[in-house]
């Protein structure tokens, strides 16, 4: 039920656990620490019929599992969310309009089943050899759909004020902490973001409440997205703005920041005590040896966003050259 897109990997059965062991062993063999991010897309479910139209492939929908656009869901059910309102169509970076399937409101009595799904995934991650788990409670996915007041219109124990809206997140975090230990657990948050209709009228209060819950459980780290990512596309990016500082001061564990960092700004954030760890996404995808490049202050490969989310097993994921490859097309390190 957590899937919303094609080619999404899973951790809900023994076969998947065994397959992940090979990946985890390879990462550990290189001396790295490996956490598994677990997430549930909720209402962010892209119908296969829409994908076919995007690719200009003419097929009969009869070849799919059902006719309703819920091809990634068990038994053809609608995807779940905190509400039953469809996500507003979104425009991607390349101008494509993304359309999502209409969801169904998750019934209160069914919420414990979702907690168990997160618990099982976390347990399986540890069985596969991962060093820990990061709960993805950001970017408009299911947990975010419960936390943000722009989306959550529930009137029972999981809706209304901040405490109720964060109840779902609190129970997921507690369930995973109980299963694998809080010392192996991180949580990703995006309080200021407005991804997929998910925004909040008081993001500071919301984040402080969740951070307090994490402190009570002794969660290892908090991974938070910079608010500037909401306005970066408009060019209103201020590297000097450190709006996550209030949460950094309150959280008792390790604090990880993410959002458009380059090498110099990342080093400065750690040196100044603003963060313990800086997370890199696009730069790391295009530069598999990013730490070594940063260490040498070397140039970086240019990333190609058009290949970020393809079904190709090679292009865009394993074809970027390493530092010592003479064919590298580099831009200056920032």
> Tokens 């590298």 label which residue?
328
Task: Check: CB of residue 1 under 8 Å from CB of residue 79.
Answer: yes
Residue ranges of E strands in 43-183: 80-81, 90-91, 97-98, 104-105, 132-136
CA dist 141 to 39, 65, 148, 199, 254, Å?
A: 7, 24, 11, 12, 23
Q: Which residues pair with 258 in a beta bridge?
A: 225, 279
Q: E strands along the chain, which residues?
A: 35-38, 80-81, 90-91, 97-98, 104-105, 132-136, 185-189, 221-225, 254-258, 277-279, 300-301, 330-331
Catalytic residue set: 141
Q: At what angle do helices 203-217 and 167-180 cross, to 10 degrees?
A: 30
Spatial separation of the C-alpha atoms in residues 222 and 44, rounded to whole Å: 24
């Amino acid at each position: 039920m957590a899937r919303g897109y094609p080619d999404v990997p899973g951790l809900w059965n023994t076969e998947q656990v065994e397959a992940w062991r090979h990946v985890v062993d390879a990462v550990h063999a290189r001396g790295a620490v490996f956490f598994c991010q677990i997430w549930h897309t909720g209402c962010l479910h892209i119908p296969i019929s829409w994908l076919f139209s995007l690719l200009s492939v003419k097929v009969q929908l009869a070849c799919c599992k059902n006719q309703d656009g819920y091809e990634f869901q068990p038994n053809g059910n609608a995807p779940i969310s905190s509400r039953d309102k469809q996500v507003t169509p979104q425009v991607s970076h390349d101008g494509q309009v993304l359309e999502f399937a209409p969801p169904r409101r998750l019934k209160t009595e069914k919420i414990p089943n979702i907690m168990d799904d997160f618990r099982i995934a976390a347990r399986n991650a540890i069985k596969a050899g991962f060093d820990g788990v990061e709960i993805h409670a950001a970017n408009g996915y299911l947990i975010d759909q419960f936390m943000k007041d722009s989306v959550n219109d529930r009137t029972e124990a999981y809706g209304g004020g901040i405490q109720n809206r964060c109840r779902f997140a609190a129970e997921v975090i507690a369930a995973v902490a109980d299963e694998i230990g809080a010392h192996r657990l991180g949580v990703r948050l995006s309080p200021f973001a407005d991804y997929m209709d998910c925004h909040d009228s008081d993001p500071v209060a919301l984040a402080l409440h969740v951070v307090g819950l994490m402190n009570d459980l002794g969660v290892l780290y908090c991974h938070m997205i910079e608010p500037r990512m909401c306005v970066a596309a408009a060019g209103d990016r201020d590297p000097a703005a450190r709006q996550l500082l209030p949460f950094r001061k309150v959280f008792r564990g390790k604090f990880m920041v993410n959002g458009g960092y380059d090498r110099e700004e990342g080093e400065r954030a750690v040196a100044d005590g603003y963060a313990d760890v800086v997370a890199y996404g696009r730069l790391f995808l295009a530069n598999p040896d990013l730490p070594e490049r940063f260490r040498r202050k070397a140039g970086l490969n240019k990333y190609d966003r058009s290949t970020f989310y393809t079904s190709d097993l090679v292009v865009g994921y394993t074809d970027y050259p390493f530092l010592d490859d003479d064919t590298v097309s580099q831009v200056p390190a920032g």
